[in-house]
Amino acid sequence: MAYREFGPPDGPPAILLHGFPYDVQAFDAAARALAARGFRCLVPWLRGYGPTRFRAPGTMRSGQQAALGADLLAFMDALGIERAHLGGFDWGGRAACIVAALWPARAAGLVSCGQGYNIQDIANAGRPAAPEVEARYWYQYYFHSERGRRALETGRRALCQHIWRLWSPTWAFDAATFDASAAAFDTPDFTEVVVHSYRHRFGLVPGDPAFDPIEAQLAAQPAIAVPTVVLLGADDGVDPPPATDLTRARYTGHYERRIVPGAGHALPQEAPEAFVAAMLSLA
């Protein structure tokens, strides 16, 4: 796993994790601000993104949730980090939630952006949602098809830029901002990891057997006892915050839910000051 590092090497560690289709650029401003407050910020590229690479050709290019959680835990182990503040959104928020739920001693605090409790309930993934919700998830069903796979292979930049616009309708990002992240999608494994992620979460394809024990634990929808701030972008085009907090019951420790006006799905990049404030409130 490749990563960027900001701040003093002896500062309290904070690991910040991006989602699909974004990359480490999403945390540039937030990581620099936290580093200025004394944090050692580590921002890795997830599997399939940027310079992160699979070492073995035969390793399954899995994008399942257990793989993301296991990667985060292995990343901490490799760097000798016993305990860290964890923050992320989308896929990265899922990895952070999984470590906080299954290995709470490793998480000093959790900032989960976008979906609150971000652990997939795969056993119930076949239950239809409201039509307006299903419409927002068009891209997931698109990636279930070979047509969607080919779109990722041949036109991923246009597709991902369209997703950025839909998910963050009030964020006036420019071409240079998108291009800085889109370079991380041009890897040998991006398409396979993305397709597997969106097929596995609906139970359409098997996962990597190496992660079966973790998936079995996640199937129980474990509670999170780690002190948590959930950040929701008021303008999130794919996961708009519901009026009722639907995931509060999944948290058994300190918990806050904050709705951030003017922010969409890429909340740490669109509103870094809100993300930094949340991280500092748990320090």
CA 269 to chain centre: 13
List 17's β-bridge partners, or say none. 88
Q: Please list the pLDDT of the chain residue by residue as tens digits (283 residues).
A: 999 999 999 999 999 999 999 999 999 999 999 999 999 999 999 999 999 999 999 999 999 999 999 999 999 999 999 999 999 999 999 999 999 999 999 999 999 999 889 999 999 999 999 999 999 999 999 999 999 999 999 999 999 999 999 999 999 999 999 999 999 999 999 999 999 999 999 999 999 999 999 999 999 999 999 999 999 999 999 999 999 998 999 999 999 999 999 999 999 999 999 999 999 999 9
The string of DSSP letters for 109-132 reads EEEEESSSS----GGGTTS---HH
Degrees, nearest 5: CA angle 19-48-177:
50
Identify the pLDDT of residue 70.
98
User: For residue 217, which phi and psi values (nearest 5 degrees)?
Assistant: -70, -40
- Strand ranges for 140-190 from DSSP E: none
The string of DSSP letters for 12-33 reads PEEEEE--TT--GGGGHHHHHH
Which positions ≥6 away from 58 have C-beta within 8 Å? Answer: none
What DSSP state is assigned to residue 184?
G
Identify the pLDDT of residue 115.
84
> Looking only at Cα atoms, what is the longest distance across the chain?
50
Identify the pLDDT of residue 53.
98
- Indicate the CATH number for domain 3-281: 3.40.50.1820
10: exposed, middle or buried (Cβ count in 10 Å: 0-12, 13-18, 19+): exposed
Helix (H) or strand (E) holding 34: helix 28-36
Domain boundaries, the chain: 3-281
Indicate yes or no: pTM above 0.75. yes
The rounded distance, in Å, linking the Cα atoms of 283 and 281 is 6
List 257's β-bridge partners, or say none. 230
Helices 190-200 and 146-167: angle between axes, nearest 10 degrees: 90
Q: At residue 172, what is the residue type?
A: A
